[in-house]
Amino acid sequence: MAKQQRVVIVGGGVIGLLTAFNLAAEVGQVTLVDQSAVGQESSWAGGGIVSPLYPWRYNPAVTALAHWSQDFYPQLAGRLFASTGIDPEVHTTGLYWLDLEDEAQALAWAKREGRPLRTVEIAAVNEAVPVLGAGYSRAIYMADVANVRNPRLVKSLKAALQAMPNVTIHEQCEVLGFIREGENICGVNTVQGEMRGDEVVLAAGAWSGELLNSLGLELPVVPVKGQMILYKCEPDFLSCMVLAKGRYAIPRRDGHVLIGSTLEHEGFDKTPTPTALESLKASAIELVPALADAQPAGHWAGLRPGSPEGIPYIGRVAGFGGLWLNCGHYRNGLVLAPASCQLFADLLLGRRPIIDPVPYAPQGRIQGMA
C-alpha cells in the first residue's frame, strides 16, 4: 500500500482506536469517526480481563488471537504510558476459577495449549484470597492472567492518536451510510458531511451489522447487553481475580473491585436495571462476603458486539472494493484487540500476517440479503 493512502475507520472503540494506532505510521492519513465519544460503549463498560472468561470453551480461532494479545499487552501498555503519560494499568493478579463443571476439559486444554493452568487446594485459595466466600470446594488457577483498566486504555490510545499529525478523530459524528462508486466504497456520509478514503474500515462493534445492511449485506453481529457494578475498597482488599458461576470479581490497583456481568438480549437498550443490580450484588456477596456492608459506587451497562462463536470478522469484504471489517469480538474485544488490530494491519498493508487469517475472513461468513 502506498504511503499516501487515506483510511477511514468507522467506530472509535478499542478496536477502532488500535486499528488507527497501528496504521498511522504506515499510511498517509487516518480519519476515525464515532457516533458518540470514543470508547464509550463496550470498551469503557467491560471488565478488562486479558483472557476469555473460559478460554477452553472457545473455538481455536479465538484462542489464537487471545494468546498473541496476552503476551503483547504489557508491551503495548508500556509504549502508550511512555508516549502519553496515561497508564492503561495492566495489572497481573492471576485468576482463580471456582467449582467448574468442566474442570477436566479446562486442564486438558491447558496441557494441549501449553498454558500454565493448574488445580489448587481450596485451603491455598483461601489463604491467597482471605476475603473469598466460603462454600467453594475446587479451584484451578492461572498465574499470569492480567486485567487492563479499560477506560484508561481508551484515554491513552486517544491521546496517542491526537499527538499524530496525520490522524483526525471526529466524535459525536454519526455515520449515515457508505459512499459507493461502482463496485468501490470510497468513504462514508456523516452528519458532518462526506469523509472520503481509499480504504474504509468498519469497526463499529454492535452497530456494525446495522451499517452493513445499507449495502445489502447481512452481518450476524447483534448487541448483547452487559451490566456491571463497582465497589471502592482498600488497594490490597482483593489480591486476585476470582470467577464462579459465570460471575467474576476484578481488583484494580487502587482498590476498585468490579463485579460482572449479565448477558441480556435487549436490542440497543443500555438502561441499567434494578433486577440486574440485585443479581450482581448477590454475586458480589457470594464471592466476597465483606462486600455485603458496602454500597456499589457505580452501576452501568454496555453493548457487546455478539457474533457466532465469538469469532470476529477481520478482513476485506468481497465485491466491495476498499471495504474492510474489524468487528464482532463479542465478549473479548479488549482481550483480542492487540492481535486483531495487528492482523488487520498486516492484511491491509499486504504484510505476512501474524497468524492464519482464514478463520476471521468475512467471505463465506456474511450473506447478501435477498
309-323 core/surface letters (b: 16 or more CB in 10 A; e: else): ebbbbbbbbeebbbb
Q: Does residue 368 or residue 31 have the better pLDDT?
A: 31
Model confidence at 367, in pLDDT bands (50, 70, 90)? confident
pLDDT tens profile 42-100: 999 999 999 999 999 999 999 999 999 998 999 999 999 999 999 999 999 999 999 99
The residue assigned the cell 481488583 is 251
pTM confidence score: 0.96
Determine the average pLDDT of the residues in 244-257.
96
Determine what percent of the chain is predicted with pLDDT higher than 90: 96
> Residue 73 and residue 68: Cα distance in Å, rounded?
9
SS3 19: helix
**pLDDT score of 370:** 35
For strands 199-202 and 247-251, give the pairing: unpaired
What is the torsional sign of CA 326, 332, 333, 338? Answer: negative
Dist CA 246 CA 237 (whole Å)? 22
pLDDT tens readout for residues 306-331: 999 999 999 999 999 999 999 999 99
Instruction: Report whether 139 contacts 122 (CB < 8 A).
Output: yes
Over residues 208-241, the pLDDT tens digits come to 999 999 999 999 999 999 999 999 999 999 999 9
pLDDT at 153: 97
Contacts of 282 (CB under 8 A, 6+ apart): none
Q: Assess contact for 97 and 140: CB atoms under 8 A.
A: yes
Using pLDDT thresholds of 50, 70 and 90, give the confidence band for residue 130: very high
Q: Are 320 and 215 in contact (CB under 8 A)?
A: yes
The confidence band for 196, taking pLDDT boundaries of 50, 70 and 90, is very high
Spatial CB neighbours of 79, under 8 Å, sequence gap ≥ 6: none
Residue 334: C-alpha distances to residues 43, 66, 291 (Å) = 7, 10, 27
| Digit-coded pLDDT (tens) for 3-57 | 789 999 999 999 999 999 999 999 999 999 999 999 999 999 999 999 999 999 9
Q: What is the mean pLDDT of residues 169-176?
A: 98
Find the DSSP H helices in the chain. Answer: 14-24, 42-45, 60-84, 103-113, 122-128, 150-162, 208-213, 274-287, 333-349
Task: Report the distance separating Cα 133 and Cα 126, nearest Å.
Answer: 8
Confidence of residue 200 (pLDDT cuts 50, 70, 90): very high
Question: What is the pLDDT, as a whole number, of residue 186?
Answer: 97
The confidence score (pLDDT) of residue 6 equals: 97
> What are the structural domain ranges in the chain?
6-45+152-221+308-368, 95-143+222-306
End-to-end CA distance of the chain: 34
Q: How confident is the model at residue 368 (pLDDT cuts 50, 70, 90)?
A: confident
Q: DSSP 3-state assignment of 226?
A: strand
Per-residue pLDDT, 2: 56
For residues 277-296, average pLDDT: 96
Rg over alpha carbons for the chain, rounded to the nearest Å, is 21
Whole-angstrom distance, CA of residue 18 vs CA of residue 335: 12
At residue 365, does pLDDT exceed 50?
yes
CATH architecture label of 95-143+222-306: 2-Layer Sandwich (3.30)
What does each C-alpha distance from 126 to 108, 135, 195, 239 come to in angstroms?
A: 25, 11, 56, 11
CATH classification for the domain delimited by 6-45+152-221+308-368, as one of 3.40.50.300, 3.50.50.60, 3.40.50.10440, 3.90.25.10: 3.50.50.60
On the question of pLDDT at 284 being above 70, the answer is: yes
